[in-house]
Amino acid sequence: MDRIPILHVGALLLVTIQVDMHDQLATNLQEDLTLRVSETHAKGVLIDISALDIVDSYIARVVGNIAQMSRILDAHTVLVGMRPPVAMTLVEMGVSLDGVSTALNVDKGILLLNKKIDD
Amino acid sequence: MPETIDKVLHLILEKHQEQLLEKWVASQLHSGEFRSDLVREDELREQCASFVALFVKCFSQKPDTDVTDDVWAPMAALLTDIAKRRTNQGFTPSETATFVFSLKRPLFHLIKEQSQTDAQVTERLWEISLVLDKLGLFTTEVYLATREDVIARQREEMFELSCPVVQLWEGVLGLPIIGTLDSKRTQVVMESLLESLSSTQSDIAIIDITGVPVVDTLTAQHLIRTVSAAQLMGARCIISGIRPQIAQTMVHLGVSLGDVVTKSTMAAAIKYAFEFQGLEVNAKDNKYIGR
Amino acid sequence: MLGAEYVCIKTEDDLLLVRNCVRQLAASLGFGVLDATRVMTAAVELGRNTLIHGEGGHMQAAIIMQRNTKGIRLDFEDTGPGIPDIDLALTDGYTSKNGMGLGLGGAKRLVNELTIVPLAPRGVRVRAISWLDRN
């Protein structure tokens, strides 16, 4: 499998990353998502990473890129479900996910996105 | 010290093992130092019997003073067991070591009776004495290790007791910290806070440091990191209870909390958390106001 | 040395092997979740460094023992052009290719020790050590 499925629900795109994220997969996701945002005119992108037990600076950069590209295409990005040790490790490394909003779970993420879209 | 094993000495030990045991047990029972309040006679007899048997066996295989050797391993295991049991029974470390040393008297008597010349006696006493001293000291080491275990466990427990993560409201966690925050403790506390945020899916955590006497650069750094990590997880951390002295020292030290939300009191932090969640606290009836 | 593992780093997929290898070592030593996450993340960062800047190489992972403490030692060796200024490479924000500039500096903060040694005639060895009891 070299592509992560993207679900289209209402005005949102949902991505759940459940496999070992390797670089090619991350790059593909970045391309697919930006393409789908412009095709579907989605207003929000929700990325669920609750299954990932590590996030390195490369994947963090891809997520950051997705957020920035989506923003240009008028969509907000919310990253949900980051595990506590992953969050602590990213902070210690000095990774900051500027421009990326976060939420504890998918439910809260959808609420946050809808709020952002309404504003 | 002779390189070759003193065969006669071993024969003496093996032959008179029973007699030695009887004398040793008897001398301990009547020494006046026998703690009948702490240990029963049959238990003592059993310990003595195991000790003498192992001592004779190990000593005949390797009369070396190195008790950490493989040959002496069963003896070390026995002594560890005895020392641990005695520690729990309330014996002092000296009393436990004396248990081993008290074998000297009947043993020396035996050697004196059975040896031909004075030179032989001296040599044999010296040899046996060295080993018994090591074994006695070994019990003290076991005692210390047992104590250290206890201390470490107590410290762990205090850790957990002193920083409980409590749920203040649905979606609001509180972490009152009491005492000095060293690097290790901060790390443990912060880790458990982040885990609690995740497991309870709470939106806000309030870290209250009213009970913290000093905040140094490292502690501040840990606090900031935790706040940032919580943010990455999609939650929020507020720090409350920074005392004026601490605020002063922090500024003097050049410690900055970055853009962390701080509140002077836990109450103010709770209010902030409620506002954040769109909650409002109202008096049910205004007749209590002004009392 | 109590055990060693060898992983080739030639493609991006190999980074998954690096990660799994380190995950297993961390689990076998009884690392906590946070410490395991740290050392795994550091390993992937260093592995990527070997791949991108070192033009590929390998990782040798070993369990080591010092003063009653066990630890994981990771040696990343490559045969690339080397690192001209090691201190500079460890500086935050420094990057020679398009990265976040956190690879080496970021990994350094996730482990207890990080050293870089130039190898003759080409390449570098990056050694990272993470102790079971960090403090």
Q: Supply B46's token pair.
A: 């059993």
C39: number of CA atoms within 13 Å, CB side?
Answer: 33
Nearest 5°: the CA angle C50, C54, C56 is: 65
Nearest chain C residue to B192 by CA distance is C34
B184/C34 touch (CB, cutoff 8 Å), yes or no: no
Chain A within 8 Å of B153 (Cβ-Cβ)?
no
C92/A94 touch (CB, cutoff 8 Å), yes or no: yes
Chain A within 8 Å of B232 (Cβ-Cβ)?
yes
- Assign residue B64 a region: left if phi > 0, alpha if psi is -120 to 50, beta otherwise? beta
User: 3-state class of B63 per DSSP?
Assistant: coil
Nearest chain A residue to C34 by CA distance is A85
B204-225 mean pLDDT? 86
One-letter identity of residue B230: A
CB of B139 closer than 8 Å to CB of B73: no
CB of B53 closer than 8 Å to CB of B17: yes
Using DSSP bridges, classify how beta strands B236-240 and B204-211 pair: parallel, antiparallel or unpaired.
parallel
pLDDT tens sequence across B14-64: 888 888 888 888 888 887 767 777 778 888 888 888 888 888 888 877 666
pLDDT tens sequence across B144-196: 888 888 888 887 777 666 678 899 999 999 999 888 777 777 888 888 899 99
Q: Give the whole-angstrom CA distance, residue C47 versus residue C7.
A: 10
| pLDDT at position B5 over 60 | no
Closest C-alpha to B257, from B231, B225, B234 = B225
> Which member of A84, A90, A109 has the closest CB to residue B195?
A84
Q: Supply A17's token pair.
A: 């990353």
| pLDDT at position B243 over 70 | yes
B184/C135 touch (CB, cutoff 8 Å), yes or no: yes
Level-2 CATH architecture, domain B166-280: 2-Layer Sandwich (3.30)
CATH of A6-118, one of 3.40.1360.10, 1.10.3720.10, 1.10.150.120, 3.30.750.24: 3.30.750.24
Please provide the average confidence, as pLDDT, over all residues in chain C.
84
| pLDDT at position B290 over 70 | no
pLDDT tens sequence across A62-109: 889 999 999 999 999 999 999 999 999 999 998 888 878 999 999 999
Contacting residues for B76 by C-beta, under 8 A, at least 6 apart: B67, B68, B138
List CB contacts (< 8 A) between B190 and chain A.
88
What's the CATH number for B7-156?
1.10.490.70
List CB contacts (< 8 A) between C44 and chain A.
54, 56
B234/A88 touch (CB, cutoff 8 Å), yes or no: no
Query: Averaging pLDDT over each range in B210-214, B235-239, C68-72, which range is the top one?
Result: B235-239
Chain B interface with C: residues with Cβ < 8 Å? 183-184, 187, 191
Which domain, by its residues, includes C75? 4-131
B191/A79 touch (CB, cutoff 8 Å), yes or no: no
Question: Which helix (H) or strand (E) is C61 found in, with range?
Answer: strand C57-66
Strand partners, B237: B205
Contacting residues for C82 by C-beta, under 8 A, at least 6 apart: C118, C119, C122, C123, C124
Contacting residues for B196 by C-beta, under 8 A, at least 6 apart: B165, B173, B202, B205
> Which member of A24, A89, A95 has the closest CB to residue C12?
A24
CB of A68 closer than 8 Å to CB of A38: no
Closest C-alpha to B235, from B164, B168, B191, B171 = B171
pLDDT tens sequence across C31-79: 999 999 999 999 999 998 898 888 889 999 999 988 778 899 999 999 8
Number of separate domains in chain C: 1
Nearest chain A residue to C42 by CA distance is A56
Listed in order, strand segments (DSSP E) in chain B are 166-169, 172-178, 204-211, 236-240, 261-263
List CB contacts (< 8 A) between A85 and chain B.
191, 194
Q: How many percent of chain A have pLDDT more than 70?
A: 99
Q: What does the DSSP 8-state code read for residue B90?
A: T
Contacting residues for C125 by C-beta, under 8 A, at least 6 apart: C75, C76, C77, C116, C117, C119
| pLDDT at position B3 over 50 | no
- Report A:86-115 residues touching C (Cβ under 8 A): 86, 88-89, 92-95
User: What pLDDT does C88 receive?
Assistant: 73
User: What pLDDT does A88 receive?
Assistant: 94
Q: How many residues does chain B have?
A: 291
| pLDDT at position C14 over 80 | yes
C109/A93 touch (CB, cutoff 8 Å), yes or no: yes
Query: What are the structural domain ranges in chain B?
Result: 7-156, 166-280
Give buried/exposed letters for A26-59 (b at 16+ CB in 10 A, else e). Answer: beebbebbbebbeeeebbbbbbbbbebbbbbbbb
CB of B177 closer than 8 Å to CB of B243: no
CB of B263 closer than 8 Å to CB of B228: no
> Which member of A90, A97, A104 has the closest CB to residue B235?
A104
> Which member of A54, A58, A60 has the closest CB to residue C37?
A54
